[in-house]
């Protein structure tokens, strides 16, 4: 029999885990992310496909879709929706519940709410973790077939038209959410060809109009294949681009050698080789003397 008085009992401490389910249904979810989903008191689903939500409900009976908070897609800014998501999650955490928020891909990439809710929870003293998932970026490297270590820049497409962004045309340039480039209202889910033409004109300062670019969309269902379209840069405004498609621009030039730095490195190598030779020429001390 417990000897604790009623005042000594403590209410359960709330916690939150933001997890990524990866891009392809059923294939990318990690065991740790699945564990968070299965053990949570409530699961928030930031997923746009009802099929994926139904699959999530097989792991936890208390799944709450966040899609209705978008409204009709034009009546309020997306940032307002994302703040509402964070408020909902924090309400459950403060009520002492274990919360899991599930996002496509990696929860920390192109997702404002996970970073915000984790910041708030930790600030208020609650346990909060983020579990990574396979992102669309990861799939991009595998499907298109290039190594970012050779040089790669990533921007939301709208940044290219809103700001003066320096471009390294010797590296790959990846532009996310190109289908809604230039939407300053944050109320739309697509913009028209006129907006993409502005993007083309900005890029034309670094790339020739005939430069081949790639329009990419990764697979989200096991029965799907990734979509890879190759067109000339000048034709970007002439084709339809979905909000979930990514524009990839391969390098247009070679890197130029840094001759000053290379000369310094050559001198350092020569000095190192000389020191090595000098060390090897020294007589060895008689350890048995």
- The model's confidence at residue 11, banded by pLDDT at 50, 70 and 90, is low
Residue with tokens 């471009």: 167
Residue 18's DSSP bridge partners are: 101, 130
Q: What is the pLDDT of residue 200?
A: 97
> Could you give the CA distance from residue 180 to residue 48 in angstroms, rounded to a whole number?
17
Contact partners, residue 76, CB within 8 Å, separation at least 6? 187
Question: Residue 157's closest CA among 247, 241, 230?
Answer: 247
The least confident of 83-87, 125-129, 176-180, 181-185 is: 181-185
Q: Which one of 70, 82, 126, 172 is the catalytic residue?
A: 82
Is 263 exposed, middle or buried (CB count within 10 Å of its CB: 0-12, 13-18, 19+)? exposed
Q: What is the pLDDT of residues 201-242, one digit of tens each?
A: 999 999 999 999 999 999 988 888 999 999 999 999 999 999
From the list 15, 78, 120, 217, the catalytic residue is 78
pLDDT category at 60 given cuts 50, 70, 90 is very high
Domain boundary among 134, 166, 192: 134
Give ∠ CA 254-260-261 in degrees, rounded to 5.
80
115 with 157, same domain?
no
| Residue 131 near residue 36, CB atoms below 8 Å | yes
User: Are 115 and 164 part of one and the same domain?
Assistant: no
State the Cα–Cα distance between residues 252 and 147, nearest whole angstrom.
Answer: 16
User: Is 242 among the residues known to form the active site?
Assistant: no
Instruction: Answer yes or no: are the C-beta atoms of 48 and 160 closer than 8 Å.
Output: no
Q: Do 165 and 203 share a domain, yes or no?
A: yes
- Identify the domain containing residue 34 by its residue range: 12-134
62 and 123 inside one domain: yes
Same domain, 25 and 129: yes
Q: How far apart are CA 203 and CA 92, in angstroms?
A: 46
Report the CATH number that the domain containing residue 174 is assigned in CATH: 3.30.950.10
Domain boundary among 72, 99, 134: 134
Domain annotation covers residue 35: yes
Looking at the structure, tell me whether residues 182 and 235 fall in a common domain. Answer: yes
The question of whether 78 is a catalytic residue gets the answer yes
pLDDT at 152: 97
Q: Number of folded domains in the chain?
A: 2
Same domain, 48 and 129: yes
Assess if residue 195 is contained within a domain: yes
Share of the chain above pLDDT 70, in %: 92
Q: How confident is the model at residue 74 (pLDDT cuts 50, 70, 90)?
A: low
More confident site: 64 or 78: 64
The answer to whether residue 179 is domain-embedded is: yes
Please tell me the least confidently modeled range out of 8-12, 89-93, 127-131, 166-170. 8-12
- Over residues 95-131, the pLDDT tens digits come to 999 999 999 999 999 899 999 999 999 999 999 999 9
**122-164 confidence digits (pLDDT tens):** 999 999 999 999 999 999 999 999 999 999 999 999 999 999 9
- Say what the pLDDT of residue 284 is: 61
Do 31 and 125 lie in a common domain? yes
Exactly one of 70, 97, 104, 126 is catalytic; name it. 104
Q: Are residues 130 and 145 in the same domain?
A: no
Q: Which residue, chain included where needed, has tokens 């984790």?
A: 118
**Does residue 279 lie in a domain region?**
no
Residue 181, token pair as written in the block: 């480039």
| CA distance readout (Å), 192 to 31, 73, 102 | 41, 16, 31
Q: Say yes or no: 20 and 115 in one domain.
A: yes
Residue 277 has pLDDT above 90, yes or no: no
State the Cα–Cα distance between residues 78 and 46, nearest whole angstrom: 13
CATH number at residue 130: 3.40.1010.10
Rounded to whole angstroms, how far apart are CA atoms 137 and 134?
8
Per 3-state DSSP, what percentage of the chain is helix, strand, and coil (rounded to 5)? Answer: 40, 20, 40
- CA-nearest of 115, 117, 131 to 21 is 131
Residue with tokens 């970026």: 137
**Does 62 share its domain with 86?**
yes
pLDDT at 71: 78
42-51, 76-85, 105-114, 180-189: range with lowest mean pLDDT: 180-189
- Asked whether residue 178 is assigned to any structural domain, the reply reads yes
Do 84 and 149 have their domain in common? no
Residue 282 has pLDDT above 70, yes or no: no
In a domain, 86, yes or no: yes
Question: What is the edge-to-edge ordering of all strands in the sheet holding 63-65?
Answer: 63-65, 42-46, 98-103, 15-20, 127-131
Residue 19 belongs to what H/E stretch? strand 15-20
Average model confidence (pLDDT) across the chain: 90
Q: Using 50, 70 and 90 to split pLDDT, how confident is the model at 256?
A: very high
Does 283 reside within a domain?
no
The whole-angstrom separation of Cα 66 and Cα 260 is 55
């Amino acid at each position: 029999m417990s000897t604790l008085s009623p005042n000594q009992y403590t209410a359960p401490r709330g916690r939150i885990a933001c997890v990524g389910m990866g891009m392809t249904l059923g294939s990318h979810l990690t065991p740790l992310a699945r564990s968070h989903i299965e053990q949570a008191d409530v699961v928030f689903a930031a997923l746009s496909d009802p099929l994926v939500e139904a699959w999530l409900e097989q792991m936890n009976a208390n799944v709450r879709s966040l899609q209705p908070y978008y409204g009709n897609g034009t009546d309020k800014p997306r940032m307002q929706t994302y703040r509402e998501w964070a408020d909902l999650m924090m309400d459950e955490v403060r009520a002492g519940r274990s919360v899991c928020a599930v996002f496509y891909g990696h929860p920390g990439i192109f997702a404002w709410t996970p970073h915000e809710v984790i910041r708030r929870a930790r600030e208020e003293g609650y346990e909060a973790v983020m579990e990574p998932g396979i992102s669309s970026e990861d799939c991009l490297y595998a499907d298109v077939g290039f190594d970012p270590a050779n040089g790669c820049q990533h921007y939301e497409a709208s940044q290219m038209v809103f700001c003066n962004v320096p471009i390294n045309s010797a590296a790959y340039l990846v532009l996310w959410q190109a289908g809604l480039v230039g939407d300053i209202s944050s109320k739309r889910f697509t913009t028209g060809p006129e907006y993409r033409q502005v993007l083309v004109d900005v890029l034309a300062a670094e790339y020739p109009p005939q430069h081949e670019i790639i329009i990419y969309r990764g697979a989200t269902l096991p029965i799907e294949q990734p979509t890879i379209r190759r067109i000339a840069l000048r034709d970007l405004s002439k084709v339809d681009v979905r909000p979930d498609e990514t524009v990839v621009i391969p390098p247009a030039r070679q890197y130029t050698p840094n001759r000053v730095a290379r000369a310094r490195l050559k001198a350092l190598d020569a000095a190192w080789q000389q020191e090595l030779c000098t060390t090897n020429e020294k007589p060895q001390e008689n350890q048995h003397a």
